[in-house]
């Protein structure tokens, strides 16, 4: 039986599975022997647990941390918000991993249903929030803050159909999909937050995006970013913040900016990216790493703690998975996590897509509001 | 030992790593300061951070207690914190510098650094020192070449130093040399 048939078969069998982008294609994780639903009580023991067997490729937990639990982990409380009752985090222990190629051949016979997407913050209220945060920047309470908007629709979809179509148009390096009995997530995240192998750890923040077209090639994109003071300043800030977060857990002198401000090319756009490396100190545990790095700074703003507090006071609706992290922790301590952006959460017959863009002192409300829409559009278009 | 007082910033651990190149460093949050570490420290550092010096009365208290007794260094908010304790006004500025690389220059011949020397530095500040500013023993030693805003002060008598820019930022060229010189002063 070929592997693509295997994918369809697993999908139709109804058993939960996860797909995660690998270097050459995708990995499919399934036959879950354990499922841990995280809460504020069990997350610490989950992250501190040590394992005896660590040699098999299935000796790992794969899943996600939502935004709220990552806040709680660093002692940031979130005021009461509108909530759909989605779990704060879920991890699975797979017993089987299958390698798949980049070409996920699958087409659904089922027709999906949805109504119009509704946005939770309209242009006027967005501008009000924007102006309020700009004042906070002027008074120095934050240097950069990302306003999140959420698009929602009633829906019934086949997640694998969506994911295979999405990966045809946008093969993102941190793409993933989770299909479980009562929910699914489809994501084309481009951003890696943690790659840890042995004592070496890297993070690869993205700050700066420009659309590809006939006039915009890679060289011109680099010129655009370098010339654009706003993009440059935002990026600089994220680089220093990520250096800081790595410095919490890395040896003195080991944190290095190994690739500074380079352009990476994707199917429809260019990203402005840096790569920062470090060597983990002795006696640092998984939980220390998660607490130092998450939630990933590039999608929050800077400085992290005061900015999170400003956001949480403002936002009326739970972010659920958005700006959380998906990935795996191997039993030997190696890990890989992304930042959950450009994702669709399907739960209780609703689909939600959250997006955010940055307020710095010289950004413009209209521009950022539209930027949010552009980011959501690629995913909303899948529903057509 | 160098004791760094963290004002909840996302750059403090860059400061910790930078100073750790030269001495043992301890770092605690401003609301969890240890008296015994304060006592033991030979240098106290006020970290960068969000907000205004008046939001951090506990740091002001520490400054006033140890002024003249230990070497004190302030970075960004820490720079403003020290000047605020000396009676200066800290005000919003029209043009805001966040993630900005600026050229600055040594403007005072009482500085540890040679007058006229230029540095490329990283800046992250919404607020600035209101001038004219005149306090005994405090000299403004560096200024932004473009806006002329105060970028560093030195008080040789009491060994108090401050940088409005971030010597630990990757945007600051030769930041380690600046720190080394201040520490050995």
Q: Do A240 and B12 touch (CB under 8 A)?
A: no
For A158-172, A238-252, B28-42, B153-167, which range has the lowest pLDDT when averaged over its residues? A158-172
Instruction: Tell whether A359 is covered by a domain.
Output: yes
Instruction: Tell whether A192 is covered by a domain.
Output: yes
Most A CBs within 10 A among B98, B125, B127, hence the mutation to make, goes to B98
Contacts of A248 in chain B (CB under 8 A): 13
Contacts of B10 in chain A (CB under 8 A): 240-241, 244-245, 297, 302-305
Residues A336 and A175: their CA atoms lie apart, in Å, by 12
Residue pLDDT, tens place only, A101-154: 999 988 776 777 778 999 999 999 999 999 999 999 999 999 999 999 999 999
Quick one: which of B180, B185, B147 has its CA closest to B164? B147
Structural domain boundaries enclosing A60: 3-198+319-383
Question: What distance lies between CA B136 and its chain's CA centroid?
Answer: 18
**What are the two backbone dihedrals, phi and then psi, of residue A52, each rounded to the nearest 5 degrees?**
-80, -50
The pLDDT value recorded for residue A268 is 75
Most B CBs within 10 A among A137, A143, A208, hence the mutation to make, goes to A143
Q: Do B13 and A239 touch (CB under 8 A)?
A: no
Burial A130-165 (b: 16+ CB within 10 A, else e): beebbebbeebbbbbbbbbbbbbbebebbbbbbbbb
Contacts of A137 in chain B (CB under 8 A): 96, 98, 126
Asked if CATH classification 3.90.1820.10 holds for the domain at B2-184, the reply, yes or no, is no
pLDDT at residue A322 greater than cutoff 90: yes
Q: Do A303 and B13 touch (CB under 8 A)?
A: no
Residue B126 has its nearest CB partner, among A137, A232, A305, at A137
Instruction: Tell whether A141 is covered by a domain.
Output: yes
Active site residue B168: yes
Residue pLDDT, tens place only, A30-62: 999 999 999 999 999 999 998 888 889 999 999
Most A CBs within 10 A among B2, B13, B19, B21, hence the mutation to make, goes to B13
Res. A251 pLDDT band, cuts 50 70 90: very high
Q: Do B11 and A241 touch (CB under 8 A)?
A: yes
The predicted complex's ipTM stands at 0.96
The pLDDT value recorded for residue A3 is 67
Tokens of B67: 């002024």
Domain count, chain A: 1
A273 contacts A264 by C-beta, under 8 angstroms: yes
Q: Do A247 and B10 touch (CB under 8 A)?
A: no
Within an 8 Å CB–CB cutoff, is residue A262 touching chain B?
A: no
Residue pLDDT, tens place only, A280-304: 999 999 999 999 999 999 999 999 9
The pLDDT value recorded for residue A361 is 79
The β-bridge relationship of strands A200-203 and A60-65 is: unpaired
Instruction: Tell whether A269 is covered by a domain.
Output: no
The pLDDT value recorded for residue A274 is 97
> In chain A, what are the helix, strand and coil shares in percent, each to the nearest 5?
30, 35, 35
* pLDDT (average), residues A339-362: 92
Instruction: Tell whether A247 is covered by a domain.
Output: no
pLDDT at residue A328 greater than cutoff 90: yes
Residue B99 has its nearest CB partner, among A141, A233, A306, at A233
Within an 8 Å CB–CB cutoff, is residue B16 touching chain A?
A: yes
Instruction: Tell whether A226 is covered by a domain.
Output: no
The nearest CA of chain B is from the CA of A137 a distance in Å of 7
Instruction: Tell whether A237 is covered by a domain.
Output: no
Active site residue B85: no
Within an 8 Å CB–CB cutoff, is residue A245 touching chain B?
A: yes
Threshold 0.90, pTM exceeds: yes
Active site residue B166: yes
Percentage of residues in chain A with pLDDT exceeding 90?
80
The nearest CA of chain A is from the CA of B149 a distance in Å of 17
Tokens of A265: 């090319």
**Greatest extent of chain B over all pairs of C-alpha atoms, in Å:** 43
pLDDT at residue A266 greater than cutoff 90: no
Tokens of A348: 């209780």
> What's the average pLDDT block by block, 10 residues per block, for chain B (185 residues)?
97 98 98 97 98 97 98 98 97 91 96 97 95 94 96 98 98 97 95
The pLDDT value recorded for residue A237 is 94
Active-site residue among B27, B76, B85, B144? B76
Q: For the residues of A65-90, what is the DSSP string, one character each?
A: E-HHHHHHHTT------B-----SEE
CATH number at residue A66: 3.60.120.10
The pLDDT value recorded for residue A25 is 96
């Amino acid at each position: 039986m070929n592997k693509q048939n295997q994918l369809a078969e697993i999908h139709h069998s109804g058993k939960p599975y996860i797909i995660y982008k690998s270097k050459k294609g995708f990995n499919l994780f399934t036959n879950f022997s354990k499922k841990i639903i995280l809460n504020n009580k069990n997350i610490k023991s989950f992250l501190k647990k040590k394992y005896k067997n660590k040699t098999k490729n299935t000796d790992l937990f794969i899943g996600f941390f939502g935004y709220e639990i990552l806040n709680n982990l660093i002692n940031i409380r979130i005021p009461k918000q509108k909530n759909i009752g989605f779990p704060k985090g879920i991890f699975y222990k797979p017993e089987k991993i299958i390698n798949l190629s980049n070409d996920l051949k699958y087409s659904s016979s089922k027709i999906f249903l949805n109504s119009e997407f509704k946005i939770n913050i309209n242009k006027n209220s967005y501008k009000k929030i924007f102006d309020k945060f700009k004042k906070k920047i002027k008074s120095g309470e934050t240097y950069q803050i990302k306003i999140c908007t959420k698009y929602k629709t009633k829906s019934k979809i086949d997640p694998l159909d969506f994911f295979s179509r999405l990966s045809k148009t946008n093969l993102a390096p941190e793409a993933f999909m989770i299909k479980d009995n009562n929910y699914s997530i489809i994501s084309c995240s481009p951003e890696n937050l943690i790659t840890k192998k042995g004592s070496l750890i890297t993070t690869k923040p993205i700050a700066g995006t420009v659309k590809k077209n006939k006039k915009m090639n890679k060289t011109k994109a680099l010129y655009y970013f370098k010339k654009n003071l706003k993009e440059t300043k935002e990026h600089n800030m994220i680089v220093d913040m990520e250096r800081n977060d790595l410095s919490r857990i890395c040896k003195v002198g080991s944190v290095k900016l190994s690739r500074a401000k380079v352009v990476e090319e994707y199917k429809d756009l260019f990203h402005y990216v840096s790569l920062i490396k470090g060597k983990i100190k002795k006696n640092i545990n998984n939980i220390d790493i998660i607490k130092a790095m998450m939630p990933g700074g590039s999608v929050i703003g800077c400085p992290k703690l005061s900015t999170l507090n400003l956001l949480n006071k403002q936002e009326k609706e739970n972010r659920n998975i958005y700006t959380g992290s998906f990935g795996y922790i191997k039993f030997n301590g190696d890990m890989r996590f992304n930042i959950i952006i450009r994702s669709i959460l399907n739960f209780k017959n609703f689909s939600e897509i959250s997006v955010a863009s940055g307020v710095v002192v010289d950004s413009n409300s209209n521009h950022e509001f539209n930027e949010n829409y552009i980011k959501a559009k690629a995913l909303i278009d899948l529903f057509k | 030992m160098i004791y760094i007082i963290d004002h909840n910033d996302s750059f403090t651990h860059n400061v910790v790593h930078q100073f750790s190149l030269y001495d043992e460093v301890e770092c605690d949050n401003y609301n969890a300061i240890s008296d015994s570490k304060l006592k033991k420290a030979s240098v106290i550092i006020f970290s960068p951070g969000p907000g205004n010096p008046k939001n951090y009365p506990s740091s002001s208290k520490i400054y006033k207690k140890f002024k003249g007794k230990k070497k004190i260094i302030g970075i960004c908010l820490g720079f403003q914190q020290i000047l605020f304790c000396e009676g200066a006004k800290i005000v919003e500025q029209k043009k805001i510098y966040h993630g900005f690389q600026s050229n600055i220059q040594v403007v005072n011949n009482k500085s540890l650094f040679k007058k006229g020397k230029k540095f490329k530095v990283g800046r992250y500040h919404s607020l600035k020192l209101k001038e004219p500013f005149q306090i005994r023993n405090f000299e403004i030693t560096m200024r932004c070449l473009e806006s002329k805003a105060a970028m560093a002060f030195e008080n040789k008598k009491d060994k108090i130093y401050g940088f409005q820019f971030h010597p630990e930022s990757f945007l600051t060229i030769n930041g380690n040399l600046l720190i080394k010189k201040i520490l050995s002063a």
